[in-house]
Structure 1
Amino acid sequence: MKKLLLSLIILTLAVFTAACSSASGGEEETKKIKLGVSGSDTRIWDYIAEKAEKEGIEIEVVTFSDYVQPNVALAEGDLDANAFQTVAYFDTFIEEHNMDLSPIATTVLAPMGLYSEKVTSPDEIPEGGKIAIPNDASNGGRALLLLEEAGLIKLSEDYDGNLDLNKIIENPKNIELVEMVSAQTPRALPDVAASIINNGIAVDAGFNPTKDSIYLESETATPYVNIIAVRTEDKDNETLKRIAELYQEDDVADFINEEYKGSMIPTFIPLSDIGW
C-alpha cells in the first residue's frame, strides 16, 4: 500500500513538473519585439510580422510622425529596433546625438522626388523660382544632389553630401532654395515652383512617387539605402538578426516590387557597402 501511495505521489509530481516546464517553455518561445517606423505605411512590416509569427516572434510595429523620435525611443530602450531611415541620415544623427546604435541590415531604397503643382519637368522651373527642400543635414544634402542630378545646380567637387548651400557653385536659374522640416515639404507646394519630398512623406501625402514626381532619384544612390537599426549592445541578438534575415528573403522583395511598383526598391546589400 505504501509503495502504491509513493508511486502515485511520484507520478503526480512528475506530471506537475512536466506541465510547469511545458508552460514555461511556451512563454519563452514567443519573443516580443517592438519596432519603430516613421509614417503610417506599415505594409512591409505587417507582411514580415506574419512570417515572424510562424517562428514564435511577435513584432509590434510602433508608428511615429517624425524622423527624430524613432531613434530617441530606440536609444532609450522603448524600442528594440527601428526601420525608417537612410544610412546617411543615421550616421549623421548618431554622431550629432552621441547615440550608440548600429545597423544590422539594409532594406529598401526609397527614391526622393521633386514634385510640383505648376510644372511637369525640372526644365520648366522658371528663373528665380522657389524650391522647398528638407532642412536637416542628411535629407537636405540629398536634396542638393537630386537638384544637381536634375541639372538645376552644380555642386563643388568637395561636397560631402550634407546640406550646405555654400557648396553650390552654379545656379543658372537663380533658384531660391527654401529650407523647412521634411514634414512640411508637401504642404509648401502651392507656394513654390517645386518641392523635394522624402518618399515616405510623399506617400503619406497621397502621392505615388513614380507617377507624381517630375523627377525621381537614381537607383544607384547607395548612401540613401534604408536600414534596420538596433542598440549596438543588441546587434548580435539572435531574434533581431532573424528578423533581418526574414526581411531579406526573396518573397519580401517580390512583395515590395508588387506592392510599391518601383516607388520602393528592395536593396539587400552587405553592411560593408554602406560603410559599416
Structure 2
Amino acid sequence: MSMSPLLPRLATAVLLLAGLAACGSADNGAAAGRERLTVAATAVPHAEILEVVKPLLAEQGVDLQVRVFNDYVQPNDQVVQGQIDVNYFQTEPYLDAYNRDRGTDLVTLAGIHIEPFGAYSRRYDSLDAVPAGAEVVIPNDPSNNSRALILLHHAGVITLDDPTNALATLRNITANPRQLKFRELDAAMLPRVLDQVDLALINTNYALDAGLNPASDALAIEGKDSPYVNFLVGLPDKREDPRVRKLIDALTGEQVRAFIAQRYHEAVLPAF
C-alpha cells in the first residue's frame, strides 16, 4: 500500500511540536530552579530601583517579583499577612507608627535611600510669597504629617513646641503667624490637588511620579542630613533569609548608587 504524501508532513509536524514542548519544559525548569522573592513597592523610585537589581539576583538564582502599590498601607498589610515577602517604600518613623497602631512587629532590614521631602506650589515661587490664610495640604499619616510640619518649622513658616518630635501634629503648632489653613489628605492625593491649593507638602516618590523635580521645583526641601531613610522592611524571620540577604547586597551596591545618581540627581540620595 502506498504511503500518503501527508504522512511525512504530519510526522515532521509532530516532531517539531515535541521539540518545542521540550524547549518549553526546559525554560520552565530554569525558571523553577530560581527561588522567588516578592517585594511590594511604590512606583518611583522604589520599583525603578528594584528593576535595576532584577538581573543581578537572577544570576544568583533569585526570581525577584515586584508588586507596585500606590498607597502606604497595603504594602505593610500584605507583608504581615504573608502574601508578600518584604516591602520597600517607607521610613522608620512611618513603620513605628504602623506597628504601634496595629500591634504588628515588622522590622527594618536595610536602609537604601533618602528622599528629601519638599513643599510645592503652582501659585507662588517662594514661601515668603505664600499669603495669610493660604490653604496648605499635608499628608494625613502620622509620620509624614509631622515631617511636613517639621519642614515648615525649619523654614520659619510655623513654630512647633518640639521640632525634634517625629510624631508632631497640628496640635503641636505654637505659632502660625500667617494663619495658614491646614488640610490633611492621603499622601498619594497631594500631587493631584496641587493646582487647587496654595501649598502642598509632598513625598518625593509621589512628586517624581507627578513629574515634579524636587531639586528645582520645591520651595523648601529637607537637606542631605534628613533622618528619613527609606528601608527594606519585613517580618523578623526575613533577617536571615538568604534571598533577602542577596537583595540587600544588590540594593546597597555600586550599580544602584550609580543608577540613583544618574536617574534622580539630588532628588534621591543613597543611604549607604
TM range, smaller chain: 0.7 to 0.9
**TM norm structure 2:** 0.85
CA deviation profile, 1:74-116 (whole Å, cap 9, x unmatched): 0111111100111110111112111121111001101111110
Q: Considering only aligned residues, what root-mean-square deviation do their CA atoms show, in Å?
A: 1.9
Query: Does the Cα contact within 8 Å between 1:104 and 1:241 map onto a contact in 2?
Result: no
Residue correspondence of structure 1 range 1-276 to structure 2 within 5 A: 30-39=34-43, 41=45, 42-157=47-162, 160-222=165-227, 224-268=228-272
Using the alignment, how far apart are the partners of 2:63 and 2:234 within structure 1?
17
Q: State the one-letter code of the partner of 1:261.
A: H
Q: What SS is found at the alignment partner of 1:127?
A: coil
CA deviation profile, 1:7-51 (whole Å, cap 9, x unmatched): xxxxxxxxxxxxxxxxxx977851110000023552211001111
How many Å apart are 1:160 and its aligned residue? 2.0
CA deviation profile, 1:179-237 (whole Å, cap 9, x unmatched): 11112211222222110011111122221221222221122121x11000111122211
Query: Does the Cα contact within 8 Å between 1:39 and 1:66 map onto a contact in 2?
Result: no
Query: Does the Cα contact within 8 Å between 2:153 and 2:163 map onto a contact in 1?
Result: no
Q: What SS is found at the alignment partner of 2:191?
A: coil
Using the alignment, how far apart are the partners of 1:214 and 1:238 within structure 2?
43
Q: What SS is found at the alignment partner of 1:85?
A: strand
Query: Does the Cα contact within 8 Å between 1:109 and 1:225 map onto a contact in 2?
Result: yes
- How many residue pairs align between the two structures? 244
Using the alignment, how far apart are the partners of 2:50 and 2:34 within structure 1?
18
Gaps of at least 5 residues in structure 2 are 1-28
Using the alignment, how far apart are the partners of 2:56 and 2:33 within structure 1?
15
Q: State the one-letter code of the partner of 1:156.
A: D
The percent identity for this pair of structures is 30
Q: State the one-letter code of the partner of 1:128.
A: G
Query: Does the Cα contact within 8 Å between 1:31 and 1:58 map onto a contact in 2?
Result: yes
Gaps of at least 5 residues in structure 1 are 1-24, 269-276
Using the alignment, how far apart are the partners of 2:167 and 2:92 within structure 1?
13
